[in-house]
Amino acid sequence: MLLELAIGDAYGAGFEFAPMEKVHQFNDANAYQQHEFGMPRGSYTDDTQMSLAIAELLIGDTEWTRENIADQFVTCFKRDERLGYSQGFHQFLISVNSGSEFIDKINNKSMRNGAAMRSAPLGVIAKIDELTAMCEVQASLTHNTDIGIKSSQAAALAAHYFIYQHGQVEHLTEFVSEFSKYHWNDNWKDGVACCAEETINALLTTLKNADNLKDVLIKSVSFGGDVDTVSSLALAISSSSCLYENNLPDVLFEELENHDYGRDYLSATAHKLMALAK
């Protein structure tokens, strides 16, 4: 899951808010593109780093508190500072040094997609009521709004649906809508803003209309806009299912960054994460 999430993130970041001409010309899932904000090709962004923070907390069986989660976000950023965060949140993370300071200073009323983007690892939680409660706790740190919380629950529930083999792809949206208590649209056709609702709608539309991982990646990016969040979530979730053919080109694995927290670390961490599913 985490390795594919990072591939979707690094690939999608090359098209994030790029002109549609670039999307039409290069969106074939055969190579990474240069990020619009200057990171090298094959580099992942905040989507992966914050998902990794969640995964490490789950693996470590750390008490699921707002302060522990916030502290992990700060730790992961400080050990491997990188671009890809919004400018304001990047500066905020530079300015804080602990989870308690994070909580004291954050403006947590966002309706954007940041809480959803880091929620796929929570799909390993077996009990749905526990999963939705844990999503609410982590989302409330930065997105303590109804749509922020429900979008986090939706992303985690989509991952959970496939990890625990609840059914076929055509029933995914019904399942996610039922347990997040929100009506999602899996027929999204527009661009995707940094918006929680639009991101989940685009995610579910992609998952419904693809049957292989390469097509998941291409369809995620084809919307235009904030597509690295759609593609990272969609690839993380679909790669957890036997219902999608795993046909990602080898080059996307080979050219994904492999520093201390890169490809090999993500693969090893994902193995431990998925072992929690029971």
- pLDDT tens readout for residues 250-274: 999 999 999 999 999 999 999 999 9
Per-residue model confidence (pLDDT) at position 254? 97
For residue 43, the enclosing domain spans 2-274
Inter-CA distances, 174 with 43, 93, 95, 148, 186, Å: 34, 37, 42, 19, 10
- Hey, what are 105's tokens? 């200073």
Locate all alpha helices (DSSP H) within 84-170, ordered by sequence: 87-95, 99-105, 114-117, 128-140, 146-163
Domain count, the chain: 1
pLDDT, the chain, mean: 96
Report whether 249 contacts 42 (CB < 8 A): no
Global pTM reads 0.97
Per-residue model confidence (pLDDT) at position 35? 84
One-letter amino acid for residue 214 of the chain: K
Sign of the Cα pseudo-torsion (70, 75, 76, 77, in order): positive
**HEC profile of 123-136:** HHCCCHHHHHHHHH
Inter-CA distances, 58 with 103, 134, 273, Å: 20, 11, 7
Task: List the beta bridge partners of residue 212.
Answer: 245
What's 77's domain CATH number? 1.10.4080.10
- Rounded to an integer, the average pLDDT of 140-163 is 98
Per-residue model confidence (pLDDT) at position 278? 78
Per-residue model confidence (pLDDT) at position 41? 94
Per-residue model confidence (pLDDT) at position 38? 76
- pLDDT tens readout for residues 225-249: 999 999 999 999 999 999 999 999 9
- pLDDT tens readout for residues 32-79: 998 877 789 999 999 999 999 999 999 998 999 999 999 999 999 999
Per-residue model confidence (pLDDT) at position 61? 86
pLDDT band for position 83 (cuts 50, 70, 90) = confident
Q: Which of 176, 174, 202 is nearest to 188 (CA)?
A: 202
Report whether 200 contacts 211 (CB < 8 A): no
Per-residue model confidence (pLDDT) at position 39? 83
- pLDDT tens readout for residues 173-194: 999 999 999 999 999 999 999 9
- pLDDT tens readout for residues 134-151: 999 999 999 999 999 999
**Share above pLDDT 90 across residues of the chain, in percent, rounded to a whole number:** 94
- pLDDT tens readout for residues 199-226: 999 999 999 999 999 999 999 999 999 9
- pLDDT tens readout for residues 112-133: 999 999 999 999 999 999 999 9
pLDDT band for position 84 (cuts 50, 70, 90) = confident
